[in-house]
Amino acid sequence: MNVRRPATLASLAAELGVSRTTVSNAYNRPDQLSPELRKRVLDTARRLGYPGPDPVARSLRTRKAGAVGLLLTENLSYAFRDPAAVGFLEGLALACEDAGSGLLLIPANPEREDVASVHRAGVDGFVVYSVPDDDPHLAAVLERPVPAVVCDQPSIENLDRVGIDDSRAIKTMAEHLIGLGHRKIGVLCMRLARARNDGPASVQRQENASFHVQKKRLTALAEAFEAIGIDWEQVPVVERFDHTIASGESAAGQLLESNPEITAIMCTSDILALGALNETRNRGRRVPEDLSITGFDGITEAERVGLTTVRQPMLEKGRAAGRLLLDAGEPGRPREVRLDTQLVTGSTAASPRSVEERWFGP
Amino acid sequence: MNVRRPATLASLAAELGVSRTTVSNAYNRPDQLSPELRKRVLDTARRLGYPGPDPVARSLRTRKAGAVGLLLTENLSYAFRDPAAVGFLEGLALACEDAGSGLLLIPANPEREDVASVHRAGVDGFVVYSVPDDDPHLAAVLERPVPAVVCDQPSIENLDRVGIDDSRAIKTMAEHLIGLGHRKIGVLCMRLARARNDGPASVQRQENASFHVQKKRLTALAEAFEAIGIDWEQVPVVERFDHTIASGESAAGQLLESNPEITAIMCTSDILALGALNETRNRGRRVPEDLSITGFDGITEAERVGLTTVRQPMLEKGRAAGRLLLDAGEPGRPREVRLDTQLVTGSTAASPRSVEERWFGP
DNA sequence: CTGAAAGCGCTAACAA
DNA sequence: TTGTTAGCGCTTTCAG
């Protein structure tokens, strides 16, 4: 009984001497036949080892898969390593649960072009979370005749979308640092394009970035700093492909090595900031006395160590995305959910000390 | 192009004046037709807005869904809150990714009996993770004519299984405490049955537990303590339905209130132990000087605070489960993977102080 | 309350 | 290299 499918709805019907409709009804519309008959059907089913209507055949017929597909930037497994992504997943799962829908995680390796997994996915719609604008998987999703909602990406055609005001959010942080007196800063950012680059990101590369969110944040930072007369060309931006604490460490190392004069490091994620924090302290520099460090996301780990960061509601993001997808809106009238963020004033950003203080103590 | 399915493989074939096979081959077996024809097919497809073969119809025909279903004890969303579960998910996702398979999270509310989600799941097999022996969802999975592997559960029929030696693992911890001199202990455990119970768990309830792992651990503890002449009936065991730090806190409070004489609290999970740690300290008792606390799992958070615990390889568990399911073994010869665990001697367990020391200091 | 008819959209032998 | 034939297993009008 555990490896083949001996019985089908048809064979059951034959065995019982009733029509297939009746058997189908026994499962799907109990009120459409007498309790006795229904019991007889179900009993015979058990006896024959009939496992109930085949879900795939049913889906084909009803045109409902009962599942939502999730397409992510990262390997599935990485997603579980990033607390922000986990928060998003939790929210999305919540929405799916409410709707009784399954959640299909699609195995999309960002470094490969293989979109078969998208074609193969039997789902009623897709949530696309922060993939690059030119990702072939995204293109494959768009070709599928099912709805999709994008999150942390530019809006597309007439798709629903959820996100935050990345520009506003990071500008608030920039202004916070500027207010504290920082003028020499360095930036650590996540992957800007599908092609791997671990190192400085030129302004040109920043402008060509295909990861919407990262690009948005960098652009906003440029604006914020140019507004006070700082030449963005001179601001060092270091990029990392992998989004890990170790990446943050090495990136911070690289930054501090090449730009020892900076008084603050702004990171586009908490994970990177956590790494930067480690590296800075390992080099014997104190935070925030010698160097200020800021993050982005507001993950638990970051808030625990008192990171100065921007908190965004990841769980709500996931939930909103799921809801949008599941309670279909009116076609042709795409909806947009924009969530709020807030500055978290932790203990990793302070006024830069003057040069004298640096050398001679306060 | 984004809400209906105008074209089908058949209509495309008709339009092109070729057979359906040819169109199918254009997608699935490029080598079976001339490049020119293939190009013509694909071009026409694009023109007609044909999105490629329907995944559900294909699944029906090929009898392959390209996805693995995951059934969990908890609401999907809770799973993302428990670092141990996240570790498991990560490992499972890794295995799925390697096989190019999707991972379908099945919305199974443990407090409801609705198993439709299991019936509806279009998957090639199931991974069942730590659900109670009498869970109707589990029963539903067993009825499906697809393979399944269970994890942290008793072996079933001829299903593959992965787990650890729970008994051995927790006995090692018990012996560690006994070696330190503890004789008066209390226990905090997770949910023992589907029916909610937040409070003391009688021996009877322990014996009737339907959560295999919890039962196994309690039984092993009973053995370990009876071996040194302690009457297990007298050992207070406090159960919590929700697996959260807050639960650990309240359970520890309850335990310390009713059994102030205990010198150690053994918890069957790190999450509970983390809660116990908070509660104990909030009550002004020092750990481990006044009270020893131990956990189980070895989650990052626990190791960071120096919890004395048992580490189990959650990621490997998930990966092993996925692999077992995906590279099908020989039918009728169920496999079993048993992973190793290790005692982590942290800083939350020490010798109990003598009564004099308790009152008068060391 | 039950049955007959008509596919859902696709793939896989097997022939040609 | 391409086409013919036969379903995969189910649901759903529409009559009876």
Residue-wise pLDDT tens digits, B111-157: 777 899 999 999 999 999 999 999 999 999 999 999 999 999 999 98
Residues 35-54 on A with a CB inside 8 Å of B are 51-54
Residue of A135, A142, A141, A136 whose CA lies nearest to A157: A142
B362 to chain A, closest Cα gap in Å: 34
Whether CB of B195 is under 7 Å from strand C: the answer is no
Does residue B288 lie within any of the structural domains?
Answer: yes
Percent share of chain A, pLDDT over 90? 81
Mean pLDDT estimate for chain B:
92
pLDDT band at B180 (very low <50, low <70, confident <90, very high): very high
Q: Do A203 and A307 have their domain in common? A: yes
| B 4-33 near A (Cβ less than 8 A) | 4-5
The domain total for chain B is 3
CA distance to partner chain B, nearest, from residue A93 (Å): 5
State the average pLDDT over residues A131-143. 93
Q: What is the CATH number of the domain that holds A21?
A: 1.10.260.40
Is residue A329 one of the residues assigned to a domain?
Answer: yes
How much is the pLDDT for B329? 77
Q: Is the pLDDT of residue B1 over 50?
A: no
Asked if residue B51 belongs to a domain, the reply is no
In a domain? residue B145: yes
d(CA A278, CA A240): 16
**Per-residue confidence (pLDDT) for residue B354, from 0 to 100:** 59
Q: How far is the CA of B4 from the C1' of D13 (A)?
A: 21
Same domain as B187, residue B141: no
B66 in contact with nucleic chain C (CB within 7 A) = no
User: Residue A248 is encoded by which pair of tokens?
Assistant: 């943050």
CB count, 10 Å around CB of A186? 24
Same structural domain, A119 and A257: no
Cα–Cα–Cα angle for A70, A157, A317, nearest 5°?
A: 40
- The per-residue pLDDT for B4 is 46
Has residue A143 been placed in a domain?
yes
Q: For residue B77, what pLDDT band results from cuts at 50, 70 and 90? A: confident
Residue B2 has pLDDT above 60, yes or no: no
User: What pLDDT does residue A354 have?
Assistant: 59
Q: Is residue A100's pLDDT more than 80?
A: yes
| A212 and A260 belong to one structural domain | yes
Q: Collect all residues with Cβ–Cβ distance below 8 Å to B246 and sequence separation of at least 6.
A: B275
Structure confidence at residue A1 as a pLDDT band (50, 70, 90): very low
Task: Provide the token pair at A263.
Answer: 């008084």
Are the beta carbons of A275 and A246 closer than 8 angstroms? yes
Nearest of A238, A233, A211 to residue A73 by alpha carbon: A211
Examine the domain organization and report whether B184 and B200 are in the same domain.
yes
Domain range for B37: 1-43
Put simply, whether A158 touches B (Cβ < 8 Å) is: yes
Residues of A in contact with B96 (CB under 8 A): 76, 105, 107
Distance from CA(B3) to C1'(C11), angstroms, rounded: 25
pLDDT class of A272 with cuts at 50, 70, 90: very high
Query: Does residue A102 belong to the interface with chain B, where contact is any CB pair within 8 Å?
Result: yes
Same domain for A227 and A176: yes
- Judgement on whether residues B232 and B264 belong to the same structural domain of the protein: yes
At A48, which helix (H) or strand (E)? helix A35-48
CA distance A334 to chain B (A): 12
Contacts of B95 in chain A (CB under 8 A): none
At A3 the pLDDT is 41
**pLDDT average, residue stretch A281-292:** 96
* Domain co-membership, A298 together with A355: yes
In terms of domains, do B185 and B277 share one? yes
- At residue A114, the pLDDT reads 84
Angstrom CA distances, B148 to B59, B91, B104, B158, stand at: 19, 17, 14, 9
The amino acid occupying position A283 is: R
CATH number at residue A140: 3.40.50.2300
Residues of B with Cβ-Cβ distance to A142 under 8 angstroms: 2
* C-alpha distance from B166 to closest chain A C-alpha (Å): 25
Q: Are B68 and B326 in contact (CB under 8 A)?
A: yes
Which of A76, A100, A119 is closest, CB to CB, to B107? Answer: A100
Say what the pLDDT of residue B360 is.
Answer: 55
Shared-domain flag, residues B306 and B235:
yes
Q: Is the pLDDT of residue A268 over 80?
A: yes
Q: Is A67 helix (H, G, I), strand (E, B) or coil?
A: strand
A297-351 per-position pLDDT tens digit: 999 999 999 999 999 999 999 999 999 999 987 777 899 999 999 999 999 999 9
Any domain includes A56: no
Of the ranges A14-18, A86-90, A356-360, which one carries the lowest mean pLDDT score? A356-360
Residue B247 clears pLDDT 60, i.e. is over it = yes
Q: What pLDDT is recorded for position B31?
A: 87
pLDDT at A184: 97
Looking at the fold, whether B265 and B178 belong to one and the same domain comes out as: yes
The span from the CA of B1 to the CA of B6, in Å, is: 8
pLDDT digits (tens, 9 = 90+) for A151-202: 999 999 889 999 999 999 999 999 999 999 999 999 999 999 999 999 999 9
C1’ C1 / CA A67, Å: 33
Higher pLDDT, B7 or B205: B205
Buried b (16+ CB within 10 A) or exposed e, A99-133: bebbbbbbbbebeeeebebbbbbbbbbbbbbbbbb
Number of neighbouring beta carbons within 10 Å of residue B176: 18
For an interface test with B, which of A77, A96, A144, A159 has the most B Cβ atoms less than 10 Å from its Cβ? A77
pLDDT tier at A30, thresholds 50, 70, 90: confident
Per-residue pLDDT band at B43 (split at 50, 70, 90): very high
Written in H, E and C, the secondary structure of chain B is CCCCCCCCHHHHHHHHCCCHHHHHHHHHCHHHCCHHHHHHHHHHHHHHCCCCCCHHHHHHHHCCCCEEEEEECCCHHHHCCCHHHHHHHHHHHHHHHHCCCEEEECCCCCCCCCCHHHHHCCCCCEEEECCCCCCHHHHHHHHCCCCEEEECCCCCCCCEEEEECHHHHHHHHHHHHHHHCCCCEEEEEECCCCCCCCEECCHHHHHCCCCHHHHHHHHHHHHHHHCCCCCHHHCCEEEECCCCHHHHHHHHHHHHHHCCCCCEEEECCHHHHHHHHHHHHHCCCCCCCCCEEECCECCHHHHHCCCEEEECCHHHHHHHHHHHHHCCCCCCCCCEEEECCEEECCCCCCCCCCHHHHHHCC
For residue B264, is it within any domain?
yes
- Answer yes or no: is A188 within a domain: yes
Provide the percentage of residues in chain B whose pLDDT is more than 70. Answer: 96
Closest by CA to B347, choosing from B279, B310, B293, is B293
Residues A32 and A73 in one domain: no
Is B28's CB less than 7 Å from nucleic acid strand C?
yes
Nearest to A102 among B106, B114, B144 (CB): B106
Q: Would the pLDDT of B277 be above 50?
A: yes
Chain A CA closest to residue B80: A90
pLDDT band at A359 (very low <50, low <70, confident <90, very high): low
List all nucleotides in chain C with at least one atom under 7 A from a protein Cβ. 1-13
pLDDT band at A2 (very low <50, low <70, confident <90, very high): very low
**What's the CA gap between A124 and B253, in Å, rounded?**
47
